[in-house]
Amino acid sequence: MRTGKVNMTENIRSALEDMILSGSFRSGDQLASNAELAERFGVSTLTADRAVRLLVDKGLVYRKHGVGTFVASQSPKTEKQKYRIAVADKKFPATPMWESSMGIRTRISIQHLYMKQCDVKLIDYPTLCDPKLFAAAIDGMDGLLITSGFIDPLTVEILKKLEIPVVITHLEEELDLPFHQIMFDNSRGIRAAVEKILQQNPPEILIVYENHPNGLLRKEMFEKSVISGGYPEKQIKFYCVETDALTNAIPSYRLGLRLCSEIKEKFLFSTSDVVSFSLLEAFREKGLEAGKDFQLLSYDNLEDYGCLPYKEPCLTTIDAPRPRFAERSADLLLEQIEKGTDETVVVRIPTRLVVRKTAF
Per domain, the residue ranges of the chain are 5-71, 84-185+325-349, 186-321
| Topology, domain 84-185+325-349 | Rossmann fold (3.40.50)
- Give exposure, 189-210, as e/b (b: 16+ Cβ within 10 Å): bbbebbebbeeeebeebbbbbb
Residue 101 is which amino acid?
A: S
Sign of the dihedral defined by the CA atoms of residues 337, 338, 340, 345, in that order: negative
Strand ordering across the sheet containing 143-147: 119-123, 84-88, 143-147, 166-171, 180-185, 346-350
Look at residue 339 in the predicted model and tell me its pLDDT. Answer: 85
Mean pLDDT by 10 residues, the chain (360 residues): 56 86 84 89 85 83 81 61 89 64 84 89 95 96 96 96 96 96 97 98 98 95 98 98 88 97 97 96 97 98 90 95 94 92 91 98
Q: What's the CA gap between 37 and 31, in Å, rounded?
A: 9
Read off the amino acid at residue 169.
Answer: T
Single pTM value for the model: 0.77
The pLDDT of residue 95: 64
pLDDT for position 134: 97
Local structure of residue 290 (DSSP, 8 states): B
Distance CA 120, CA 110 (A): 7
* Domains 5-71 and 84-185+325-349 in one fold: no
Output the CA–CA distances (angstroms, integers) from residue 109 to 75, 114, 175, in the order listed: 28, 9, 21
The pLDDT value given to residue 54: 85
With beta carbons less than 8 A apart as the criterion, state whether 28 and 74 touch.
no
* CATH class of the domain comprising 186-321: alpha beta
Work out the burial of residue 31: count CB atoms within 10 Å of its CB; fewer than 13 is exposed, 13-18 middle, 19 or more buried.
buried
Q: Would you state the pLDDT for residue 4?
A: 41
Longest CA span, the chain:
68
Q: What is the dihedral of CA 335, 338, 339, 342, to 10 degrees?
A: 80
Question: What is the rounded distance in angstroms from the CA atom of residue 276 to the CA atom of residue 259?
Answer: 13
311: left (phi over 0), alpha (psi -120 to 50) or beta: left
Task: Enter the CATH code of domain 5-71.
Answer: 1.10.10.10
The pLDDT of residue 62: 85
pLDDT of residue 332: 96
Provide the residue type at 248 as one letter: N
What pLDDT sits at residue 131?
Answer: 94
pLDDT (0 to 100) of residue 77: 45
In this structure, the dihedral spanned by the alpha carbons of residues 190, 196, 201 and 207, taken in order and rounded to 10 degrees, is -30
Q: Which of 35, 36, 2, 31 is closest to 17 using CA atoms?
A: 31
Q: Secondary structure of the chain: what % helix, strand, coil (to 5)?
A: 45, 20, 35
Q: Which candidate, 97, 57, 96, places its Cα nearest to that of 80?
A: 57
